[in-house]
Amino acid sequence: MHVALSAPAPADAGRAAPPESRSLGRRVTLLLLLPSTLWFLLLLLLPLVIILVFSLGERSPVGGYSAALTLENYLNLGSRAKAFANTLVLAPLGTLVCLVAAYPLAYFLAVKVQRNRSLLLTLVIVPFWTSFLIRTYAWIFILGGKGLPALLAMVGLENVRLINTPTAVLIGIVYGYLPLMVFPIYVSLEKLDKRLLEASADLGASAFETFRRVTLPLSAPGVITGAMLVFILLMGEFLIPAILGGGKVFFVGNALVDLFLQSRNWPFGSAVAMTLVAMMLLIIALYLKLVARYGKRGTEGML
């Protein structure tokens, strides 16, 4: 007969750590958090405080900031209503189009592809190996008179104008930000237990029902993360509207460049920036609520 012997438990097993040890642990934790805390305060909160102070001031006669305490800059936000309108229309629309284009691609890479998956993922990343500015400039030729409009004219669709239009800006947005939508969704789908799909099919669910009740809920965190990542970046976008919009499609980012660098109206530009930050905080709060809601539903495997 063989008897398994276990080592005796230490005498102090199950005992709580002494107060001195806990105090030392807290001090070490605070010391480790100090660099990141200072970084956060100096590079995020302090600039926001400065911008808030500027937004309550006045433009000096020679441009820049003059100390004051007024809400006039916020009352004049209506003069930039077009920039806010373009941003609030094209940013969600661009995010939606990116999502519609990215989900099938991410699903194909995560679920259907068995071989050469790394190669295909690399191809998705390849555009980031080139300057974003150069890639955006390339679309001027593609969407210009000698590009797609010329090809459309050859098949009978004449006088089609793409460059310097909201359509051109939307195309540039989808091209530039699609990979940022693909990868969060891919990560969620790649973790999906394939046995759940098989079980759903065995229980008689159609392919659509399996997608609606299993795949989509479990991939919801990736969808929400990708959508918020793209949407928040688009809210501050200025390069794509400036190049492909030709000065006719303004975003809030373009308004900020104009106010700070051209007209040098720092207080009004600061008021526009603070309004944009407030919108971002509201969106992030909604994002956290959606993550908590759909994350729980995803674990339950139902909508």
Confidence (pTM): 0.81
Q: Give dist(CA 281, CA 41) in Å, integer.
A: 17
Question: If you average pLDDT over residues 200-209, what whole number do you get?
Answer: 83
Q: Is residue 127 within 8 Å of 179, Cβ to Cβ?
A: yes
Q: Where are the domains of the chain?
A: 80-263+272-300
CATH of 80-263+272-300, one of 1.10.3720.10, 1.20.1260.10, 1.10.1270.20, 1.10.10.10: 1.10.3720.10
**Using one digit for the tens of pLDDT, what is the confidence trace for 132-167?**
899 999 999 999 888 888 888 888 888 888 899 999
DSSP assignment letter at 18:
P
Residue 147 backbone phi and psi in degrees, to 5: -105, -120
Instruction: State the pLDDT at residue 30.
Output: 85
Mean of pLDDT over the chain? 85
Greater pLDDT, 2 or 216: 216
Q: Is residue 148 within 8 Å of 165, Cβ to Cβ?
A: no
**Using one digit for the tens of pLDDT, what is the confidence trace for 158-185?**
888 889 999 999 999 999 999 999 999 9
Instruction: State the pLDDT at residue 280.
Output: 86
